[in-house]
Amino acid sequence: MNSAVQFEVLACAGQRRIGVATLNRPQTLNGLTLEMCELLQEQLTLWENDAAIAMVVLAGAGGKAFCAGGDLHGLYQAMQENTGGAWDNAYARRFFEVEYRLDYHIHTYSKPVLCWGSGIVMGGGVGLMMGASHRVVTETTRFAMPEITIGLFPDVGGTWMLSRLPRGIGNFLALSGAQLGAGDLRMLGLADYVLPAASWPQVLEQLRALDWPGERRAADIQLGRVLREAGAGLAAQESGPLQRHYEAINNACDGADLAAISAYIADLQASDDPWLQRAAATHRAGSPGSARLCFELLRRSQLLSLADAFRQEYIVSLHCGVEGDFREGIRALLIDKDKSPKWNPARLADATPAWVERFFKQPWPARQAHPLADLEARPQTG
């Protein structure tokens, strides 16, 4: 049986090697399970401590997706079986802790990490890609954080990422789940290189042909040079839809009035741009409670460290399993597939700032430390 993550060590021209981790569940668009997170964390730690490994590659099998999200079926089953509070869901506690530790590990990894973000990159896939030191996208990349459609929020560090974009843009992406392509990702600084999807085998061979230095900065420079040269023959990237509507979106979606921002996005259904129409449709069909939660999380995350943002997300994620619309959103999308969720609250006006406060309360016993309290023991790489 093939492993859910395939690991390979590739010999290079010199004495050092490249570690390649390939997500290997193409039938689910490489959806990220707890087992996969555990496998990745274990292997990344081994490679980080192995002086022979010069750099690490993250990729997805199948050609359609790097990673389309997390294990919603497993989380749904655990929510169904849980008869207690937010802290009583042992599977959710384990899943979110392991996933967030893995994402933070990638952000702070001591060696170069190349993420080949071709195809679908959503949810949990964004969490893996965002921490990589060298983030590659292609003409097939479809990048989004569409959690509002399932009653969740952009987690896996997504609140930290979106809160550091221009305020209106972060709000828009969180509330609409709008998909971004290579041009818009480069413009926002969410991707570092744009390469043709078909160039991956050649790029990997070029990397193997090099004698890799042991010093981190030199390895970063060498990897960057290969990726820039591989994309040098591309025609100038066509302006993406976000770039074309950037000023209007940024102005309309900034500020403290969530109701006005929501109304603006909903009214985009009257636009003649299909991208804006889809953003409006996603927002209108999404969870009003998630809209309030997204808005509040981005506001609170602006001044947080990455580690503190993960700690905040962990608390909110556990509460989403019992307080909000997460279970209902998964039911409507993946279990019964009726695509008719019954959101509670059903209106944004009822998802008030007072209502959302319940999601930020520590769910574990008072004297217990936060399960992610030690994240900053790993210094972030710069």
Residue 68, domain CATH? 3.90.226.10
Q: What is the C-alpha separation between 123 and 133, in angstroms, rounded?
A: 19
Count of domains for the chain: 1
Lowest mean pLDDT among 224-238, 247-261, 300-314: 224-238
In a domain, 98, yes or no: yes
Lowest mean pLDDT among 149-158, 200-209, 233-242: 233-242
Where residue 279 falls among pLDDT bands split at 50, 70, 90? very high
- Note the Cα 60 to chain centre separation in Å: 15
In a domain, 32, yes or no: yes
pLDDT digit string, tens, across residues 115-126:
999 999 999 999
In a domain, 137, yes or no: yes
**Mean pLDDT, residues 22-26 taken together:** 97
In a domain, 272, yes or no: yes
How many percent of the chain have pLDDT more than 70?
Answer: 97
CA-to-CA separations, 25 to 36, 70, 192, 333, in angstroms, rounded: 10, 12, 26, 20
Where residue 239 falls among pLDDT bands split at 50, 70, 90? confident
Q: What is the DSSP letter of 236?
A: P
In a domain, 382, yes or no: no
pTM: 0.96
Note whether 124 and 31 are within 8 A (CB).
yes
Q: How high does pLDDT run on average in the chain?
A: 95
pLDDT at 382: 45
pLDDT above 70: residue 379: no
Characterise 11 by phi-psi region: left (phi > 0), alpha (psi -120 to 50), beta (else).
Answer: beta
pLDDT at 324: 79
Note whether 104 and 307 are within 8 A (CB).
yes
Helices of type H across the chain: 34-48, 72-81, 90-107, 124-130, 158-163, 167-176, 182-188, 200-208, 216-230, 241-244, 246-252, 258-267, 274-285, 288-301, 306-320, 326-330, 353-356
Q: What is the C-alpha separation between 102 and 131, in angstroms, rounded?
A: 10
In a domain, 365, yes or no: yes
As a residue count, the chain comes to 382
| Domain with 268 in it | 5-377
pLDDT above 70: residue 237: no
Q: At which residue do the structure tokens 């990159």 appear? A: 121
Where residue 232 falls among pLDDT bands split at 50, 70, 90? confident
In a domain, 59, yes or no: yes
In a domain, 67, yes or no: yes
pLDDT above 50: residue 107: yes
Tokens of 200: 């991956």
Tokens of 144: 């989004």
Note whether 134 and 192 are within 8 A (CB).
yes
- Residue numbers annotated as active site: 70, 124, 147, 155
